[in-house]
């Protein structure tokens, strides 16, 4: 696949999604180090190693170049409250023109609709890429709130799998969801 998602600032009604800065490392370290955040992701270890946030932020340019992954800080009133990203999905599993979206928010910001607002904005940004035909995502079955976020954004259940959670050091049942471009566009038309 030849597309990648440009890491530019994306504004929503309440949020600014922007590339991470070195100055965000302390906040990422604090939030990613929370068990309630790490346990709901596949990639974040727990405990979160000292300095891991700064190292992770330094990898973003290379991740974008290698696999089209674009990672954004979710900011509310200039405060970094979480992270979101979009990257090429596994071609053998999801198709060559499919991206995968993920996100996490600090627990103090749960229940405010920020994950839904973030996901909708990143979907619009991603589907601006003509070659992107679909977006996939997933959530652990013990995280139904994330499932509701994805459903509100138009995702439909596509299957279930066992996904490795680095924090839990175990496989966790994960619901997989898919949003095809045509369904996303139809949802926009219904909303207007």
Instruction: For residue 176, give the CATH number of its domain.
Output: 3.40.630.30
How much is the pLDDT for 94?
54
How much is the pLDDT for 67?
76
How much is the pLDDT for 1?
41
Torsion-angle region of 159 (φ positive above 0: left; ψ -120 to 50: alpha; else: beta): left
Boundaries of domain holding 42: 10-191
How much is the pLDDT for 93?
56
Question: Would you say 20 and 57 are in contact if contact means Cβ atoms under 8 Å apart?
Answer: yes
Q: Is residue 84 part of a domain?
A: yes
How much is the pLDDT for 95?
60
How many angstroms from the chain centroid is the CA of residue 116? 11
pLDDT (tens, 9 = 90+) of the chain, 192 residues, equals 445 566 689 999 999 999 999 999 999 999 999 999 999 999 999 999 999 999 999 999 888 888 778 999 999 999 999 999 998 887 655 566 889 999 999 999 999 999 999 999 999 999 998 888 999 999 999 999 999 999 999 999 999 999 999 999 999 999 999 999 999 999 888 776
Q: Residues 61-69: contacts with CB within 8 Å, 24+ apart? A: 63/87, 64/4, 64/7, 68/1, 68/3, 68/4, 68/5, 68/99
How many domains would you assign to the chain? 1
How much is the pLDDT for 7?
66
Q: Is residue 5 part of a domain?
A: no
How much is the pLDDT for 159?
96
Q: Is residue 4 part of a domain?
A: no
């Amino acid at each position: 696949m030849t597309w990648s998602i440009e890491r530019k600032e994306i504004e929503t009604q309440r949020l600014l999604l922007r590339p991470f800065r070195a100055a965000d490392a302390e906040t990422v370290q604090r939030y990613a180090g929370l068990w309630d955040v790490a346990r709901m992701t596949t990639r974040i270890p727990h405990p979160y190693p000292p300095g891991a946030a700064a190292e992770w932020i330094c990898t973003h340019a290379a991740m974008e170049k290698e696999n089209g992954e674009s990672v954004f800080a979710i900011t509310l009133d200039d405060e970094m409250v979480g992270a979101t990203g979009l990257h090429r999905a596994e071609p053998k599993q999801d198709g060559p023109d499919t991206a995968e979206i993920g996100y996490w928010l600090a627990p103090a910001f749960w229940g405010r609709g920020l994950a839904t607002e973030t996901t909708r904005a990143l979907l619009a940004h991603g589907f601006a890429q003509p070659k992107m035909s679909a977006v996939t995502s997933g959530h652990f079955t013990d995280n139904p709130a994330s499932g509701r976020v994805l459903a509100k954004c138009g995702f439909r259940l596509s299957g279930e799998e066992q996904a490795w959670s680095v924090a839990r050091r175990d496989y966790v049942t994960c619901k997989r969801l898919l949003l095809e471009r045509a369904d996303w566009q139809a949802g926009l038309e219904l909303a207007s």
